[in-house]
Amino acid sequence: MPTLSLPPNVDSAMKVVTKRFMKYFLFHADLPVFFTALASAFQLPIMRAMSDLFQQLAPKSQDYSAKDIEVLEGLEPVRRRPGMYIGGTDDRALHHLVAEVLDNSMDEAIAGHASVIDLEMTEDGGVTVRDNGRGIPIDPHPKFPDKSALEVILTTLHSGGKFGGDAYKVSGGLHGVGVSVVNALSESLVVEVARDRQLYRQSFSKGVALGPLQAAGPVQNRRGTTVTFHHDPTIFGERSRFRPATLYRMARSKAYLFRGVKIRWTCPQSLLDDGECPAEDTLHFPNGLVDFLTAVIGERPLVTRGFLAGTAPLAEDMGQVEWAVAWPDDNDDGFTNTYCNTVPTPEGGTHETGLRNALTRSLKAYGEMIGNKRAAQVTADDVLGGSGLLLSLFIKDPQFQGQTKDRLSSPEATRLVENAIKDHCDHWLSGDSESGKALLAHAIDRAEERQRKKLAKETSRKTPTKRLRLPGKLADCSRQSKIGTELFLVEGDSAGGSAKQGRNRETQAILPLRGKILNVASATADKMRQNQELKDLIEALGCGVRDSYDEEKLRYERIIIMTDADVDGAHIASLLMTFFYQEMPGLIQGGHLFLAMPPLYRLSHGQTVIYARDDAHKEEIIRTVFGAKKTVEISRFKGLGEMPPAQLKETTMDPARRTLIRVTVPSGRTEEDHEEAKSIADLVETLMGRKPELRFHYIQKHAKFVQDLDV
């Protein structure tokens, strides 16, 4: 049986899924290595419930004294719990390290002390960020006279020049932890500072200084700070690496956000893959967000004659706001990119609320001015739905949610942004009546469509006057509303029988599927129409497919794929996920699709019974829970159909005990989400489509990354 080695930072439940699915794809040529790629494409956050796996723990010592209290010093808390500082140890967290260093250079530029920033990738996988700013101070720190200010900043949490004073009027750094966190999570980090025609250098490893600050000699025509670092693979995984395309997009967005900076990008050709980004580029955009929006929108037709764009100072000398909004006249999804002090805020926040309020109030007032009474029903979602929106706020002392700063929470930002933008919106609408009327009609159409959907949602899921046409194999639930209901898709009548006996009849429906469904990515439309299993599934869901998909008509709140914990079960689950991705993407985007996690083993000793997900989990339970006991009874489940209904309910169907994995795809909110969604579509077509040569090329290209393969 093949074995698969996964990075240590991968969650244990994710390891189980990946291993099970890989067992199939390593043996079947028609779908090779699919789930390895699909697991990275479909982001699968784990949903955990309380389980007997965690309730039955080995006895612990009752002693608890002062010796049990740990005191973490220096940067040790960062290495122990990196997720508290950079949001995890995944690919996004890895690239957040570069963002922290780049933000420091951008703060120098915004403060007027730097005009050029260099972002370079090195052949050995490192990153260098260089600016021509003032340079980090190198004189002894008053509180730590035996250390330079540079060493204090790099090795001490909550140290920096952005807590107050006159060093920075606005900045993205707030907590004084950014560059020290990068230092803590780097295998090596070297800082060079050029000040007063003298070069200084200091080296660090895993947050610890390797020696004192050293003078490296005189320099001419150079000033500023240079940081070169290599991330620690023991934190992020041995196969982790920086992606040139991600860093290039990061640098480009920073250049768009501040017109006064020039960012020079350099990447060795050997690190680039299929022209994903240039090897060298100089990024400078004198028109700011307008240049950004023009590049993103391209030649797409617009509802209005041009962009709504501008800049305005905030009241009370609190900063400045810049915005650019376009309304494409097509069916493609919109996007929203918001920033505060050049820091991306992918979850929006109070500054975005201010812009939404200003636009909505202005458009309603314009509708009232021209006598259109239907304008009163318009909401912010109606106005901005499908639009391309860019917003950049520079504000003093911003407040974010968490160190990764995904959302702005400054309460005053809503009022300041709304007041700054509303007058500009009013003048733009009244000054261009053609665009104003077109935008109002666009928003009213969306408002009426929203109200139609709301009316349909309030209609009962089942009505006494219209009998729903449902497949005969479906054991439906009895609840009239879809809230809290679940449809389990199981393989075969045997598993279906056990599931029907173990279910909650009020909220859980069961649909047995016979054999392996059609691979819709490579099948013709005629084959799909003739496939009875797919017809039954579509009828049971009731929401339609592709363009006719209507989430309001979806009959269940959750769709749960429940297959055997073996190779064939993994195959069926992958085919079902492909079906939903191709035919009902809205169902995944709405968060309705889940994978069940049935156990593979049952372990018992006396009155203690625990279920294990796989071999590794089984050995862990034997070692930690049962200790050295040799009389542990171990039974292996051959399939869901052979599990007693009570056990199936307890381990896989009971919401209070089971473990589910939600299947998600990028939301499409940001430009980066659009890029990732496109790469997912290409990947699914490559691995599941009609061209076997694409799969062959993929195998050749990625075979070098497979480790510990035992065939």
Q: Provide the annotated active-site residues.
A: 491, 564, 566, 568
Cα–Cα–Cα angle for 603, 608, 610, nearest 5°?
A: 40
Q: How far apart are CA 510 and CA 517, in angstroms?
A: 17
Are 10 and 45 in contact, with CB atoms under 8 Å apart? no
Inter-residue contact 206 to 154 (CB < 8 Å): no
User: Are 328 and 388 spatial neighbours (Cβ–Cβ below 8 Å)?
Assistant: yes
Are the C-beta atoms of 354 and 414 separated by less than 8 Å? yes
Q: Are 80 and 72 a contacting pair, CB within 8 Å?
A: yes
Q: At what angle do helices 671-688 and 244-257 cross, to 10 degrees?
A: 160
Measured CA to CA, the distance from residue 261 to residue 118 in angstroms comes to 11
Compute and round to an integer the Cα radius of gyration of the chain: 29
Question: At residue 234, what are phi and psi to the nearest 5 degrees?
Answer: -70, -20
Q: Tell me the sheet residues that pair with 488.
A: 510, 560
Concatenate the DSSP letters of all residues of 154-166 into one string.
HHSTT-SS-SSSS
Read off the tokens for 79.
């290495």
Can you tell me whether residue 296 is helix, strand or coil?
helix
Strands 335-340 and 343-344: antiparallel
| Residue 345 DSSP SS3 | coil
**What are the backbone dihedrals phi and psi of residue 281, each rounded to the nearest 5 degrees, phi first?**
-165, 150
